[in-house]
A and B are shown apart, each in its own frame.
Chain A
Amino acid sequence: MLDTARTRNYINAEYGVMSWLLTRDHKRIALLYLGSITTFFALGGLFAVAIRLELLTPAGDLVQSETYNKLFTMHGVIMVFFFLIPSIPATLGNFLIPIMIGAKDLAFPKLNLLSWYIYMIGGTFTMWAVISGGVDTGWTFYTPYSSAVSNTHVVATALGVFITGFSSILTGLNFIVTIHRMRAPGMTWFRMPLFVWSHYATSLIMVLGTPVIAITVLLVFAERVLKLCIFDAACGGDPVLFQHLFWFYSHPAVYIMVLPGMGVISELVAAFSRKNVFGYSFVAFASLAIAVLGFLVWGHHMFVSSQSVYAGMIFSILSFMVGIPSAVKVFNWTATLYKGSISWEAPMLYAFGFIGLFTIGGLTGLFLATLGLDVHVHDTYFIVAHFHYIMVGGTIMAYLGGLHYWWPKITGRLYPEGWAKFAALVVFVGFNLTFFPQFIVGYLGMPRRYHAYPEEFQVLNVMSSAGASILGVGYLIPLVYFFWSMRYGPRSGANPWGAKGLEWDIASPPITENFVETPVVTEGAYAYTHGRMNVV
Chain B
Amino acid sequence: MSSAQTGTSAAHAHHPAQAHHFDSLEQQQEASTLGMWVFLANEVMFFGGLLMAYLVYRTWHPDAFAAGSAHLDIPLGAINTAVLIFSSLTMALAVHAAQTSWRRGQIVFILLTIALGTTFLVIKGFEYADKFTHHLVPGPHFEWPDEKLRAPVQMFYSLYFALTGLHALHMVVGIGIMLWLLWMARRGRFSAQYYSPVEVSGLYWHFVDIVWIFLFPLLYLIGAHVRHV
Asked if chains A and B come from one complex, the reply is yes
B211 vs chain A, min Cβ distance (A): 13
Q: A207-B41, A222-B158 are in contact. List 19 more A-B contacts (CB 8 A).
A: A3-B1, A7-B1, A104-B21, A177-B34, A181-B27, A181-B30, A181-B31, A182-B22, A207-B42, A212-B49, A214-B46, A215-B49, A228-B161, A236-B155, A238-B56, A241-B53, A244-B52, A513-B7, A518-B7
Contact check, A236 vs B42: say whether CB atoms are below 8 A apart: no
- CB contacts under 8 Å to B, within A229-265, are 229-230, 235-238, 241, 244-245, 248
A182 and B27 alpha carbons, distance in the complex (Å)? 8
Q: Contacts A211-B43, A227-B140; is A180 near B52 (CB within 8 Å)? A: no
Contact check, B151 vs A235: say whether CB atoms are below 8 A apart: yes
Q: How large is the interface on B (under 10, 10 to 19, 20 to 34, 35 or more residues)?
A: 35 or more
Contact check, A237 vs B155: say whether CB atoms are below 8 A apart: yes
Chain A residues near B (Cβ < 8 Å): 2-3, 6-8, 103-109, 169, 173-174, 176-177, 180-182, 207-212, 214-216, 219, 222, 226-230, 235-238, 241, 244-245, 248, 511, 513-518
Select which of A177, A209, A211, A517 is within 8 A of B31 by beta carbon: A177
A203's closest neighbor in chain B, by CB? B38
Select which of A103, A230, A238, A244 is within 8 A of B21 by beta carbon: A103
- CB contacts under 8 Å to A, within B190-222, are none
Q: Which residues of A contact B152 (CB under 8 A)?
A: 236
Contact check, B20 vs A229: say whether CB atoms are below 8 A apart: no
Contact check, B31 vs A245: say whether CB atoms are below 8 A apart: no
23 A-B pairs with C-beta separation under 8 A? A7-B1, A7-B3, A104-B7, A173-B35, A174-B35, A177-B31, A182-B22, A207-B41, A207-B42, A208-B41, A211-B42, A212-B45, A214-B49, A215-B166, A227-B140, A228-B138, A229-B158, A230-B155, A235-B151, A237-B155, A241-B53, A516-B5, A518-B23
Q: Contacts A209-B45, A212-B48, A215-B49; is A109 near B21 (CB within 8 Å)? A: yes
A385 vs chain B, min Cβ distance (A): 31
Q: Which residues of A contact B30 (CB under 8 A)?
A: 181
A16 and B143 alpha carbons, distance in the complex (Å)? 61
Q: Which residues of A contact B1 (CB under 8 A)?
A: 2-3, 6-7
A219 vs chain B, min Cβ distance (A): 7
Q: Contacts A227-B138, A238-B56, A517-B7; is A215 near B158 (CB within 8 Å)? A: no
Identify whether the interface residues of B are mostly helix, strand, loop, or mixed: helix
A182 and B7 alpha carbons, distance in the complex (Å)? 14
A215's closest neighbor in chain B, by CB? B49
How many residue-residue contacts, CB under 8 A, span A and B? 124
Q: Which residues of B contact A237 (CB under 8 A)?
A: 155
A228's closest neighbor in chain B, by CB? B158
Contact check, A8 vs B3: say whether CB atoms are below 8 A apart: yes
A237 and B56 alpha carbons, distance in the complex (Å)? 10
Contact check, A180 vs B34: say whether CB atoms are below 8 A apart: yes
B 149-160 to A, binary, CB cutoff 8 A, 1 in contact else 0: 001101100110
Contact check, B52 vs A108: say whether CB atoms are below 8 A apart: no
A209 and B138 alpha carbons, distance in the complex (Å)? 29
A212 and B44 alpha carbons, distance in the complex (Å)? 10
Select which of A109, A169, A229 is within 8 A of B138 by beta carbon: A229
Q: Which residues of B contact A212 (CB under 8 A)?
A: 45-46, 48-49
A216 and B53 alpha carbons, distance in the complex (Å)? 10
A372 and B139 alpha carbons, distance in the complex (Å)? 41
Q: Does B6 contact A (CB under 8 A)?
A: yes
Contact check, A108 vs B3: say whether CB atoms are below 8 A apart: no
B 1-38 to A, binary, CB cutoff 8 A, 1 in contact else 0: 10111111000000000011111000100110011001
B64 vs chain A, min Cβ distance (A): 9
Contact check, B34 vs A245: say whether CB atoms are below 8 A apart: no
A219 and B56 alpha carbons, distance in the complex (Å)? 15
Q: Does B162 contact A (CB under 8 A)?
A: yes
Q: Which residues of A contact B79 (CB under 8 A)?
A: none
Q: Contacts A176-B38, A241-B53; is A222 near B162 (CB within 8 Å)? A: yes
A491 vs chain B, min Cβ distance (A): 14
Max chain A CB contacts within 10 Å: which of B7, B19, B50, B140?
B7
A515's closest neighbor in chain B, by CB? B7
Q: Contacts A173-B42, A207-B38; is A245 near B139 (CB within 8 Å)? A: no
Contact check, A182 vs B53: say whether CB atoms are below 8 A apart: no
B1's closest neighbor in chain A, by CB? A7
Q: Which residues of A contact B166 (CB under 8 A)?
A: 215
B51's closest neighbor in chain A, by CB? A215
Contact check, A211 vs B7: say whether CB atoms are below 8 A apart: no
A107 and B20 alpha carbons, distance in the complex (Å)? 11
A516 and B20 alpha carbons, distance in the complex (Å)? 14
Q: Which residues of A contact B38 (CB under 8 A)?
A: 173, 176-177, 207
A511 and B8 alpha carbons, distance in the complex (Å)? 13
B43's closest neighbor in chain A, by CB? A211
B136 vs chain A, min Cβ distance (A): 13
A455 and B151 alpha carbons, distance in the complex (Å)? 47
Q: Which residues of A contact B183 (CB under 8 A)?
A: none
Contact check, B34 vs A228: say whether CB atoms are below 8 A apart: no
Q: Which residues of A contact B41 (CB under 8 A)?
A: 207-208
Q: Which residues of A contact B132 (CB under 8 A)?
A: none
Q: Which residues of A contact B126 (CB under 8 A)?
A: none
B212 vs chain A, min Cβ distance (A): 17
B 106-146 to A, binary, CB cutoff 8 A, 1 in contact else 0: 00000000000000000000000000000000111000000
Q: Which residues of B contact A517 (CB under 8 A)?
A: 7
A509 and B7 alpha carbons, distance in the complex (Å)? 16
Q: Which residues of B contact A181 (CB under 8 A)?
A: 27, 30-31, 34
A2 and B5 alpha carbons, distance in the complex (Å)? 15
A108 and B200 alpha carbons, distance in the complex (Å)? 14
A222 and B163 alpha carbons, distance in the complex (Å)? 12
A26's closest neighbor in chain B, by CB? B21
B24 vs chain A, min Cβ distance (A): 11
Q: Contacts A228-B138, A229-B158, A241-B56; is A211 near B45 (CB within 8 Å)? A: yes
Contact check, A235 vs B154: say whether CB atoms are below 8 A apart: yes
Q: Which residues of B contact A514 (CB under 8 A)?
A: 7
Contact check, A211 vs B46: say whether CB atoms are below 8 A apart: yes
A237 and B53 alpha carbons, distance in the complex (Å)? 10
A40 and B43 alpha carbons, distance in the complex (Å)? 29
A513's closest neighbor in chain B, by CB? B7
A105 and B31 alpha carbons, distance in the complex (Å)? 13
In order of increasing CB-CB distance, the 4 nearest A-B pairs are: A236-B151, A215-B49, A211-B46, A513-B7
B215 vs chain A, min Cβ distance (A): 15
B42 vs chain A, min Cβ distance (A): 5
